[in-house]
Structure 1
Amino acid sequence: MRRLPYAADISGVSVGRGPRDGDGPSLLDGLDTFGTDLPDDPDAEERYVPPPPPPLPRVSKYAVAGVLAVVVGFVLFLFPGLLPADRGVVTLLGFTGILAGFVTLVWRLRPGDEERDPDDGAVV
């Protein structure tokens, strides 16, 4: 039988898990100890516990009225047959509700012209 020139001779290589000829541990024995220094119980170690989140801000009555006006305005604008009145009047009422709710919500926005520190860098 003719051997290929690029074939490696592996006749003397052992694939056993024990030490070779008493030399010491093999590479596989070194990999078997991977993770032995990890703790068994993750609760036994002290962990970082974040502080509780701040409470949610209270919703103002103007914000609720604005959102409600927009929602009711869209319902009346899209379905004017819900009220027993002229369809044109109900559509106008719905459009007015949308506009009034939008203006109320924009009016409640905080002003963005706050005085800011001109130096936004870190303080050492």
Structure 2
Amino acid sequence: MSSRGSEGPEDVDAAFAEIVAGLERDFGGRWPEPAELDEERPSRPAARDAGEPTGMPVPEPPADDDDHYVPPEPPPFPRLRAGAVVALVLFAIGALLLVAPGAVGIAPRVATPLALISLSCGIGWLVLRMRTGPPPDSGPDDGAQL
């Protein structure tokens, strides 16, 4: 049972047949070959070879190599605070306990939970130290800040 809603065309088959009849009328009952379609289109100028002159002036490269941009020196890395150093030490201890627990002299069965605790504490320490407000040197005219 086929029910058609009032939203679409009432007779899709009739509309399609009308479109096909219009195409057959335009092309005499056969589909055009690609060459025939190209004949109907206006011709475009052929692409030129790279060596063929185009008639347009070619810009000359700059003669002086001393006129190039030299970026300024990057700013130095910020100094690590004590909290960041503690988090990095916790990460290093956790990684060492996971990768080579025998180097410390602890059994892997004990080292794995200790490593996971150390890594979790390092992540938690960094998350707790994140700033939640604007920087201390910001003013009321800094615009929107995310």
User: Structure 2 length normalisation: TM-score?
Assistant: 0.43
Q: Which has the higher helix share?
A: 2
User: Structure 1 length normalisation: TM-score?
Assistant: 0.48
With CA pairs under 8 Å and 6+ residues apart, which has the higher RCO, 1 or 2? 1
